[in-house]
Structure formats: structure tokens, C-alpha cells
Structure 1
Amino acid sequence: MTVTSNPAPDIAAPPQAHHKGKHWIDDWRPEDPEFWNGTGRPIARRNLIFSIFAEHIGFSVWLLWSIVVVQMTAAADGSAAASGWALTTTQALWLVAVPSGVGAFLRIPYTFAVPVFGGRNWTVVSALLLLIPCLLMSWAVSNPGFSFVGLCLIAATAGFGGGNFASSMANISFFYPEREKGWALGLNAAGGNIGVAVAQKIIPLVVVAGGGVALSRAGLFYVPLAIAAAVCAFLFMNNLTEAKADVKPVFQSLRHRDTWIMSLLYIGTFGSFIGYSAAFPTLLKAVFDRGDIALAWAFLGAGIGSVARPLGGKLSDHYGGARITALSFVMLAVGAAAALWSVNAVNLPMFFVAFMFLFVATGIGNGSTYRMISKIFRVKGEDAGGAPETMVLMRRQAAGALGIISSVGAFGGFVVPLAYAWSKAQFGNIQPALQFYVVFFILLLAVTWFFYIRKSTRMGQVGV
């Protein structure tokens, strides 16, 4: 193996090495205990650390509009906010939905980017792309007369941050052995997810620092951080030859029924997380007219959901991803029912607690579903004979499936805010949307049991 990226040690390159670039690793054997304990683990840990940092900034930028729009939305009496803007609730929910939708779509090409360019190389590029939404937002929000359509187009560029997740997760999945994938992917995802909470906590303080409301600071705050993420990836991350093969495994992953079933389950877990994260601040202001609570405390939801994600991966490593995923859907159904009751009873404390419970459930489910994906494809490889080349192919297909599933699932972040907007516009309240979520989560619980827990199925027998 050749490891030429500092500070990793140099090891003699095998004759079959395909790359001699400074940051390429040609021989990577995480399933070999001797290799992993002696050489692999430190390198994997270093790549994971800087992958988390880059993804964290990406998530922060992706959901930046979710907190900015709270200070752009008109008060209950229709008067303009302190920023000079007077958006309606529907307009505000559109501005938080559009970045989610674009980010979900971009996850597909971002997944292809890892095998085409290399994980480390693409991390550099994707971090620099975050400068576009940051600078455009800074300019647009300083002009209250700017058109709503223009705002939507600029908000769409924040989707670049959402695409980062797919490439980051696909890349890190190659670095770790199967027995540690759940924890590693959970940490990688949690580090990114928590960027939502950090942005929702810090940005309200940044824009009012020194008096008044200067929304332009929201975008400017992340400019140096995006540059730092790119520089760190350039200096300290690696590309794996195994990951940079071709894009065929990504297409091949589409042939598996499990890719599409897991995509549906991921809509229920991650789609709910990103959708609730985006909509929760606006809902607090729209349903209870408490913008102060939205600005001061809404960040807790995304924070709790992010911290719970590696827990979901860890529990799945011990008890099986399918069982933990099923548990998360039970929790989601209960949480949605509690939120529905709180809206009917006009009970703000219960509404807040119900959403915190929902965020915990989404975090656990996010970790468990990702753990299921890697094991499902490992079982498929073993069933196909288990030859080394077969297992490598299945790892590549699993990485491709991770990107596809993350893309489909992320569309939930687009649908959830719009479902609330439609419910509010058509019925004057959000109860119909919450009723739908209760039924939807029960349906996903049934799907999880039918395909992955039943003992008559192959995946149920191996405890996926």
C-alpha cells in the first residue's frame, strides 16, 4: 500500500497500485485485523474527523434559511419584522423547503462524484461551493424589496450543503470495517446533522450582535468556515483507489429491491429529521406566535436528533438495525400523535416536548437505517459466494446505495414544510399534516417488519 499523505506513515506500494498521487491509498484492507489495528484505524479516524468538519459546515449552510426566515416573517398582525421583511407563513415555509429539495436532488450527482474524483478531492470542491449560497444570501437579505422568486432561487443554492452528506457518507463507508461501520457512519452523520442545531443557535445571536438586525451576517459567518473546511480536506484527507473505481456500482445498486425499500424507510427517518428541523422554528411562530422561542430554543430539536444518531448506529451494531428502526417508527408515531394533541389543546409546552421526542426518534432511526444498508449488501455478497472480489463489488454498491437512499430520503425535507404550508393554507391549522404523519409512520413500521424482521425472510434470519 502507498500512503503518501502526511501525517500518515509511508508503506511500500504493491505492484498493482493504480495511483501514485500524493493523497491516494491503493491498498486498503479494513477487514484484515492486523492491517486495521496497525495502519488502518489511525488513517480512517483522521479522514473521519475532517469529513465531519466539512459535512458540519455543509449542513449548517443547507439549513441556514430555516432560522433566517423567522426574522423575515410578518407578525400575527401583519406588521413587518425588525429586519424590514414581511413574509407570510407560506412564503417562509417555501424558503425552508426549497434548499431541502435541491439538496436532496444534488445528493445523486454528489454520490457519483466520489468514484469519479476521489473522496478527498470532492470534499475540497464541495466545501468551496458553499461560498456561493453564503455570499448570495448575505446580499439578498439586505434588500427587503427583493422579489420572493429571487429569494427562492438564492435559497436553492443552499442545497449545495445538502449534497455534501451523500458524498461524505459514501466516502467514509469505505474506510471502516463492517463491525464498526454503524458507529463511524453515525458519528459522521451526527457531526453533520448537528450543524443544523449550531446554526439555529448561533445565527440569531450573530445577526443581532451590536444592536439591530443585520441578516447579512448569517451568510458571511460561514464564508471563512467553508474555506477552512476545504483547506483541511486538502491537507489531511485521502482518496481510496477502492472507492475510485467506476460509477457502475452506483447504477448496479439501483437494481436491488432493498435500495428502494430502504429509501422509503429513510424518508421516514432522515426526511422527518431534516423536514422538522427546517419547519420547527417557523411552526413555533406560525402556530403559537412565539418567534422568541423559535429563535432561542428551536435549535434543541436538531441538536437532540443529531446526538441520537450515533446512538442509533451503536444500538444497531448490538441488536440489529431493523429492530432499532422499527422502534424508531413506533416512537415517531407516538410523537406525532402527541404533537397533534398539543395543537388541538393549544398547549405550547406539550408541543415542544412532543417535537423533542420526535427528534430523538428521527436520530435513532437515521443511525439504524444506515447500519442496515451496509449489512444488507454484505449479506448479498456472502450469498453470492463471498469471494474477495464479490465483497469489494458489494461494498461499492453499498456506497452507491447510500447516496441514492440519502437523496430519496432527503426529499422528505422538501415535503414536510410544504405539507405544513398546505395544511395551514387549506384548513387554517397543521392538524391534517400531523394526522398523515401518524398513519405514515405506522405504515413504515409494517414495511420494516415485513421485509427485515420476519424470520421467514433472509434478512430477518441474519438479523439485519
Structure 2
Amino acid sequence: MKARGGRWIEHWDPEDETFWRETGERTARRNLFFSVLSEHIGFSVWTMWSVLVLFMGPEYGLTPADKFLLTSVVTLVGAVVRVPYTFAVAVFGGRNWTIVSAGLLLVPTVAAFAVMEPGTSFSTFLLAGLLAGIGGGNFASSMTNINAFFPLRRKGWALGLNAGGGNIGVPVIQLVALAIIGAGGGPRVLLGIYVPLVLVAAVLAACFMDNLTSVRNDTGAAKDAARDAHTWIMSVLYIGTFGSFIGYSFAFGQVLQSQFGRSPLQAAYLTFIGPLLGSLVRPLGGRLADRYGGARITLWNFVAMAAATAVLVTASASGSLALFVAVFVVLFVLSGLGNGSAFKMIPGIFRNKALGKGLEGEAAVAYGRRLSGASMGLIGAVGALGGVAVNLAFRQSFLSSGSGTGAFVAFLAFYAVCLAVTWAVYLRRPVVRTPDGTAGPERVRAGLSRAEV
């Protein structure tokens, strides 16, 4: 199976059940495991400023608006770098780029360690936050890489597990921070813990991961994905799911401090719960999508997110901390479910477009893999921009009214848009087949099947 040095795999055909059973599954699972580890550390480094701002008391001279702006900058960079990180897999190979991207995490970690003290200027903190944003790119390269390893019938589970394992880096760094704060330690202790972990992730990727020669640099795929309307439609939906998850992960602790007067320790006791559950449930979202269809699960998930946000508006306006925390945690769980189901939709959408073009067999598989891999980076990048919007919405809401209520009203309206788009584009039109079982003209026009997407 390996044809040349540097851990390159020449032949890879996961859709062949014999190949998958005899050699493919074992190799794919090994690469998935170490991909999750690297992505996990990347998420922790990306979101470390959601924790560091809790350490930054009055002696740092930052207002709540300053802190929301700081976390917005971190999220913005994490979103933007996802695009080049996606195509880096095809240029360098999945294993090779995992080694490089893991090693790069040393830069923001050491930089934050150097500047994290009272008296540092706000502009310096912003610069350190910009560097931390590169941790957000690991998700895009990891998802693109793992997408190529697994057959379509297993992508929902594999991509959900890969993303969920990465997402869980958010609550893990928050839990570590809670332990450090509780023990009377400072932020540099937290940062010092992650330096060796970054090195371990890079070394393990070098020892145990593989590159696929079939994943080659294809600028045409990027252009085709960018021109396809479904890339941008799914980007909007992913703003609603992942944008919510990452935005709330950065903002939850700050809202508890600014609106409900919680201390850093009190906020830390609560902030990790939502991201933890939202991360753990993401593979379940992918699994449900594999069984019932990603579009159907995504639709009902947005209905539930809208309902939960409506309750949050009431809790925020009334100042009920218990209700606010409980429903916010539910919203985190729903965002995790939606992450899994939305990403499962992407391979199915492009596989169905291939069938609609008359392609069959390996040609349809290759077309779907080519465009879904390219589109995932764009969708992941735009989705992460939702995290920027979440933090900017909270910043404006606190500047205007001193609470987050206005921001939640805006989120409720956006979730309503997302559920309407999901229904109108992916569930409204049935697929009509001709008597011989093939798709008729209606399929070509719709291009999507609710059962497969």
C-alpha cells in the first residue's frame, strides 16, 4: 500500500469494501486518532484567550468591550487561516502538514507567556491574540485530511469524531485553567503546560500518520467549490452551528463576569460545561446524520436552537443566573449536534451533484471527494467567522445596554433564517425517479436527496 518514502500511500480506495476491511479501516483509524490529538491541541491554543481574559483583572486596565474585541480578533484570524490550511494538505501531505501545523502552535503559546502581565499595552495583547489565531487553522487541514481517508458511508461518524475530539480542546483548557486558578496559580503556569504538549503532538504525527498521494493540489477544485452555490449555503448554516459553538466558547465566561458579576473562579467553574458537552455530542450529530439524513437533523437542530435562544432572551432580561446557565449549556449541546450533522451533509451534496451530472461509480466518488474536500476549508472558514460575529454582537450589546440581551435577540433571528434555508434548499423538493430506478429530470434540477444529504 505504501509506494515511496516519507509515509506516502500510493493506492487508497476506501469505497472498496474488501480494501476497507483488510487494510483501509485500520490505517484510517490510526490517522484519525493522531489527527484528533493535534487538532485538540490546536483548539486549546486557539481558545486560550477565552481563559486568559478571566485572569485579567482591573490591574490590566481592560474594559469588557476591550476583552470582547480581543477575543474577536483571535477568532477572526482562526477563521481566515482555515482557507490556506485546507489546501496545505494537498501541497505538503496530510501527515507532513500536521507536523508543521502542530509545531507552529509553539509561536502563540510562547508569545502569550512573554506578554501576560499587568502593564502590557492593549495593542500588544491584540498582537499576541493574532498569533493565537493560527490554532484555528488546524481544524480545516485535519477535516480535509480525514475526509479523504474514510468512505462516504462512514464520513458522518469520522468527521464528527475528528471535529468533536478537536472541539473538546476548548473545555479541556478551561478545566486546566480552573484547576490552576483554584490552586492560586497564574496564567503563565497554564501556558507552560501546553508547550510540551505541542511538541508531543508534532512528534506523534511524524511517527504514526500517513500522506495520501491521491490528495493532490488542485486549484481547479478550489475554484469550482467557490463557484458552487452549495458551498456558500452550507457556510451560512455552519455559521449557525460552529460559529455559535466557538463564539459562545470565547464569550460565555465574559458574559458571566460582566452581566452576572461572577469572579474569575466562579466563571471558570461554569464555562467549561457547555463546550465539553457540545464537543462530546458532535460525533452523535454525525452518527444521527448518517442514519436519518444530515439535512433533517440540521433542520430540527436549528428549531431547537431558536427555542433555546428565546428562553435565553428571557433569562438574560430577568437576570436569572440559574436559568441562563442551564439554557446556555443546552445551546452548546445543540451547536455540537448541528456541527456534526451539517458537516455530514457536505460529502453527500457533492456526491449527489456528481450523480446528477450522470457520473457513476469511481468517477462519482472522485468528483464528490474532490469538491467536498475543497469546500470544507471555505465552509469551515466562513463558519468560524460566525464566532467573530458572536463576540462583536456581545460587545455592541454591552456597550449599548450593559447586558447581552440584544445579542441573543439577533442570534434568535439568525437561527430562524438558518432553519428556513435548510428546509427550502435541502428538504422542500422530493426526488423523483424514473421507472428504471434512476433519477429523473427533477433530480438533476434539485441535485439533492433528503435521505442522502
TM range (shorter): over 0.9
d(CA) in 1 for partners of 2:73, 2:360: 43
d(CA) in 2 for partners of 1:396, 1:438: 35
- Alignment-derived partner of residue 255 in structure 1: 227
- Alignment-derived partner of residue 317 in structure 1: 290
Identify the match of residue 77 of structure 2 among 82, 102, 107. 102
TM-score w.r.t. the length of structure 1 is 0.92
Name structure 2 gaps, 5 residues minimum: 431-445
- Alignment-derived partner of residue 32 in structure 2: 48
Residues 14-413 of structure 1 correspond to what in structure 2 (within 5 A)?
A: 20-73=4-57, 80=58, 84-142=59-117, 144-206=118-180, 209=183, 211=184, 213-291=185-263, 292-384=265-357, 385-413=359-387
d(CA) in 2 for partners of 1:86, 1:222: 26
Identify which range, 399-408 or 429-438, moves more after superposition.
429-438
Q: After superposition, what is the alpha-carbon deviation per residue over 1:321-344, rounded to whole angstroms, capped at 9, x for unaligned?
A: 001101111111111111110111
- Alignment-derived partner of residue 451 in structure 1: 425
- Give the C-alpha shift of residue 207 in structure 1: 5.1
CA RMSD after TM alignment: 1.3
Aligned residues: 436
- Give the C-alpha shift of residue 460 in structure 1: 4.1
- Alignment-derived partner of residue 443 in structure 2: none
Matched, 1:431 2:405: yes
- Alignment-derived partner of residue 437 in structure 2: none
d(CA) in 1 for partners of 2:401, 2:450: 46
TM-score w.r.t. the length of structure 2 is 0.94
Q: After superposition, what is the alpha-carbon deviation per residue over 1:95-121, rounded to whole angstroms, capped at 9, x for unaligned?
A: 222111100000000011011110100
d(CA) in 2 for partners of 1:155, 1:221: 18
- Give the C-alpha shift of residue 415 in structure 1: 1.2
Q: After superposition, what is the alpha-carbon deviation per residue over 1:405-450, rounded to whole angstroms, capped at 9, x for unaligned?
A: 0000000111101110111102222211111111110111000000
d(CA) in 2 for partners of 1:461, 1:325: 11
- Return the letter of the residue paired with 2:36: I
d(CA) in 2 for partners of 1:453, 1:301: 30
Structure 2 vs 1, CA of residues 300 and 105 (structure 1 numbering), >3 Å: closer, same or farther?
same
d(CA) in 2 for partners of 1:311, 1:127: 27
- Return the letter of the residue paired with 1:311: L
- Return the letter of the residue paired with 1:64: M
d(CA) in 1 for partners of 2:404, 2:11: 54
Q: After superposition, what is the alpha-carbon deviation per residue over 1:360-389, rounded to whole angstroms, capped at 9, x for unaligned?
A: 110010000000001101111222212524
Q: After superposition, what is the alpha-carbon deviation per residue over 1:197-245, rounded to whole angstroms, capped at 9, x for unaligned?
A: 0001112323564x4x422122221110111000000010000011124
Identify which range, 57-66 or 198-207, moves more after superposition.
198-207
d(CA) in 2 for partners of 1:96, 1:204: 19
- Return the letter of the residue paired with 1:286: S
d(CA) in 1 for partners of 2:259, 2:241: 24
Contact 2:295 2:342 in 1 (8 A): yes
d(CA) in 2 for partners of 1:361, 1:400: 26
- Return the letter of the residue paired with 1:191: G
- Give the C-alpha shift of residue 459 in structure 1: 1.6
Matched, 1:418 2:407: no
Q: After superposition, what is the alpha-carbon deviation per residue over 1:135-186, rounded to whole angstroms, capped at 9, x for unaligned?
A: 01011113x1111011011111111110000000000000001100000000
